[in-house]
Amino acid sequence: MDFRNLIPFSKKNIDIRRDEENPFAMMQREMNRIFDSFSRNWEAIEFPEATGPFTPRMDVAEDAKAFTVTAELPGMSEKDIDLSLSGDTLMIRGEKNQEKEDKGRNYRYSERSYGSFSRSIPLPRQVDADKVSASFSRGVLTITLPKSSAVLDERKKISVRSE
């Protein structure tokens, strides 16, 4: 009987080393992030916080006509990303797989993360759901959410007359 199969820590597995971080640096960064979040006001979209083991971070920007949501998804392609719109919720799903040619390779060091994720973004009222578009380039996903023309018109209709 081959006893090696019964031992969970075979020679192959123990080579991986994880990058351990200084907990104080981590705390400081988290504090910075909290202070940063005070200075950015976010009225338009209620964004659920990133949770789970593999959740890409997202940024949201706005101009007069549209919102853009960007996410850094290195190593994924447009085929790995599934965007769907149901009602007022935009759902982003994706999976990042380890490279297939890994057989016969020994990991010496591993920092990158893999897995699947899903995030849902409740769209604000002023987004025109029919005109949502997305592009993927250099590992960055950009989703454009145009504001509906009804909302844009509403905003223009105030005129001040002199008496």
Partner 1 sequence: MTDANREMTKKEASIPEGVERTKPRSVFKPDVDIMEQKDDTVLTADLPGVDERSLDITLEKSVITIRGTVAPEIPAGFRLVYGEYAVGDYERAFTLSDEVDKDRIQATVKNGVLKLVLPKAAAAKARRISVTGA
How remote is the C-alpha of 38 from its chain's centroid? Answer: 20
Q: Is 100 in the site for partner 1 (CB under 8 A)?
A: no
Q: Is 77 in the site for partner 1 (CB under 8 A)?
A: yes
Q: Is 70 in the site for partner 1 (CB under 8 A)?
A: yes
- Exactly one of 10, 75, 88, 125 binds partner 1 (CB under 8 A); that residue is 75
Are the CB atoms for 57 and 71 separated by under 8 Å?
A: yes
Q: Is 95 in the site for partner 1 (CB under 8 A)?
A: no
CB of 107 to partner 1, least distance (A): 5
DSSP readout, 4-59? Answer: GGG-SS-TTGGG-------HHHHHHHHHHHHHHHHHS---S---PPP-SSS---EE
Q: Is 84 in the site for partner 1 (CB under 8 A)?
A: no
Minimal CA–CA distance to 113: which of 14, 13, 12, 19? 19
Footprint (CB under 8 A) of partner 1, residues 10-69: 21, 26, 29-30, 36-37, 40-45, 47, 50-63, 67-68
The tokens describing 103, both together, are: 């057989």
Tell me which residue has tokens 């909290």.
34
Q: Is 72 in the site for partner 1 (CB under 8 A)?
A: yes
Query: In the complex, which residues of this chain contact partner 1 (CB under 8 A)?
Result: 21, 26, 29-30, 36-37, 40-45, 47, 50-63, 67-68, 70, 72-77, 99, 102, 104-113, 138-140, 142
